């Protein structure tokens, strides 16, 4: 696994059906510190494996990369609001 720190924020959009759980660490068993709605824009500051450290509404926490896209046309192209939060 690599630990990548971005020079600037990398913008992503949430691709889950309802909300994405932002966690205190790199494990789905860890505390949920925020819930991010579908298609919300988040700013990633770092990545470790499949997990991204993101900022949303002033909160910093970890989300799984399977629930993010950098494609601005994601919802329009798929006709979907995304997948479920892992």
For the chain, the structural domain boundaries read 3-78
| Alpha helices, DSSP H, located in the chain | 74-78
CA 14: distance to chain centroid? 6
Q: What is the mean pLDDT of the chain?
A: 84
Task: Evaluate whether the domain defined by 3-78 bears CATH number 2.60.40.650.
Answer: no
46-61 pLDDT, tens digit each: 999 999 999 999 999 9
- At residue 9, the 3 state secondary structure works out as strand
Q: Does the pLDDT value for residue 32 go beyond 80?
A: yes
pLDDT at 31: 97
In which band, very low, low, confident or very high, does the pLDDT at 35 lie, cut at 50, 70 and 90?
A: very high
| Long-range CB pairs of 37-42, under 8 A, 24+ apart, other chains included | 38/14, 38/81, 38/82, 39/13, 39/14, 39/15, 39/75, 39/81, 39/82, 40/13, 40/14, 41/11, 41/12, 41/13, 42/11, 42/12, 42/13, 42/14, 42/68
Give the pLDDT mean for 41-45.
93
pLDDT at 80: 47
């Amino acid at each position: 696994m690599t630990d990548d720190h971005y020079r600037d924020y990398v913008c992503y959009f949430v691709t889950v059906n309802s909300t994405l759980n932002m966690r205190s660490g790199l494990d789905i068993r860890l505390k949920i510190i925020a819930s991010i709605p579908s298609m919300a824009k988040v700013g990633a500051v770092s990545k470790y494996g499949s997990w991204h450290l993101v900022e949303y509404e002033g909160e910093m926490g970890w989300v799984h990369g399977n629930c993010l896209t950098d494609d601005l046309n994601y919802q329009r192209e798929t006709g979907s609001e995304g997948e479920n939060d892992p």
